[in-house]
Amino acid sequence: MSSRRHPLRNLLIGCGITLLSVAGIYLVAGLLGLLPLEMEEIKWNNIRIISGVAILGCLMAATGYGNE
């Protein structure tokens, strides 16, 4: 079996890890008070949306890795 991945899988892995990293950094910076982090109103920087982006990144990376 070939160990090479399809380029689309590599793209999914790269985008997923990037989304996870960005969301994680923003979440930590928001909890430390360095960036705005809305806890009550629905805005783009709501904690649920940032957490959702992190979960999306995890799912994209997992889909890219497949059965490896």
Residues 3-54: tens digit of each pLDDT: 688 999 999 999 999 999 999 999 999 989 999 888 777 787 788 889 999 9
Task: Name the more confident of 63 and 47.
Answer: 63
Can you give the pLDDT at residue 42?
78
The backbone torsions φ and ψ at residue 25, rounded to the nearest 5 degrees and listed phi first, read -65, -45
Burial class (CB in 10 A: 0-12, 13-18, 19+), 45: middle
Can you give the pLDDT at residue 2?
52
Can you give the pLDDT at residue 1?
47
- The answer for residues whose C-beta is within 8 angstroms of residue 54's C-beta and 6 or more apart is 19, 20, 23, 24, 27
